[in-house]
């Protein structure tokens, strides 16, 4: 599997890492650290050549501007191993960028992760996943519930993360250029094919 993400800036990476380390210390939750780089995931893909993805993301990053995201509160994706996360507000700009990226990547990769379909994608910053149980996530939620997690983060990259042993590591970082404005999407984002 390959993940197409945007890495967080140093300030917010430190904040997210501090939270995940607290969750490991208090509850033994550490599987989220298999990706040692705090990030927002745009897409996951299970096929397609890494080279083609690198070329596509290089083109996309060169055409788009840096993006600002806003986070708010805490969330849980339910299931046997729930995911605890910080929700990212899905603005019109973020939604358009995600759809454009999805459509461009879909031209070269036919196995895009189902949860990353534009109609259902829920942007978020993961805090705990994989080694969770409903009981542990409930306790962790109560533990973290003292903060608001209302952040504004500027994303300045598209990054490919691929699995190397037990970790997901960088296989290309592509800087986003320019600054987000009201018309930046129309001016800067074109077909990625």
Reported as a single tens digit per residue, the pLDDT across 15-33 is 999 999 999 999 999 999 8
CB 61 within 8 A of CB 175: yes
CB 135 within 8 A of CB 128: no
Q: Work out whether the CA dihedral 144, 150, 153, 159 comes out positive or negative.
A: positive
pLDDT digits (tens, 9 = 90+) for 60-106: 666 677 889 999 999 999 999 999 999 999 999 999 999 988 988 88
- Provide the terminal-to-terminal Cα distance of the chain, rounded to the nearest Å: 21
Spell out the residues 6+ positions from residue 120 whose beta carbon is closer than 8 angstroms to its own. Answer: 114
Got the DSSP string for 2-55?
A: EEEEEEPPHHHHHHHHHHHHHHHHHH---GGGGS-S-EEEEEEESSS-HHHHHH
Q: Determine the pLDDT at residue 30.
A: 94
The number of C-alpha atoms within 13 Å of 125 and in the hemisphere containing its C-beta is 31
Torsion of Cα atoms, 25 then 26 then 28 then 29, to 10°: -100
For residue 97, which of 3, 6, 2 has the smallest C-alpha distance?
6
Q: Work out whether the CA dihedral 140, 141, 143, 144 comes out positive or negative.
A: positive
CB 76 within 8 A of CB 111: no
Q: pTM to 2 decimals?
A: 0.87
Of 3-7, 97-101, 108-112, 127-131, give the lowest mean pLDDT range: 108-112
C-alpha to C-alpha distance for 157 and 143, rounded to whole angstroms: 32
Residue 158 has which token pair?
């598209």
Residue 137 has pLDDT above 90, yes or no: yes
């Amino acid at each position: 599997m390959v993940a197409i993400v945007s890495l967080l800036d140093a300030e917010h990476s430190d904040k997210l890492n501090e939270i995940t380390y607290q969750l490991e210390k208090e509850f033994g939750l550490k599987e989220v650290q298999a990706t040692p780089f705090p990030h927002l995931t745009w897409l996951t893909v299970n096929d397609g050549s890494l080279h083609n993805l690198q070329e596509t993301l290089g083109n996309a990053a060169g055409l788009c501007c840096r993006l600002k995201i806003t986070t708010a509160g805490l969330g849980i994706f339910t299931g046997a191993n729930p995911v605890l996360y910080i929700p990212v507000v899905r603005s019109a700009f973020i939604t358009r960028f995600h759809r454009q990226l999805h459509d461009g990547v879909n031209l070269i990769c036919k196995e895009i992760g189902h949860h990353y379909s534009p109609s259902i994608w829920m942007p978020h910053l993961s805090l705990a996943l994989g080694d969770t149980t409903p009981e542990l996530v409930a306790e962790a939620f109560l533990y973290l519930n003292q903060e608001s997690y209302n952040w504004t983060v500027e994303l300045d990259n598209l990054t490919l993360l691929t699995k190397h042993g037990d970790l997901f590591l960088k296989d290309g970082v592509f800087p986003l250029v320019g600054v987000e404005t009201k018309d930046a999407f129309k001016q800067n984002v074109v077909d990625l094919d």
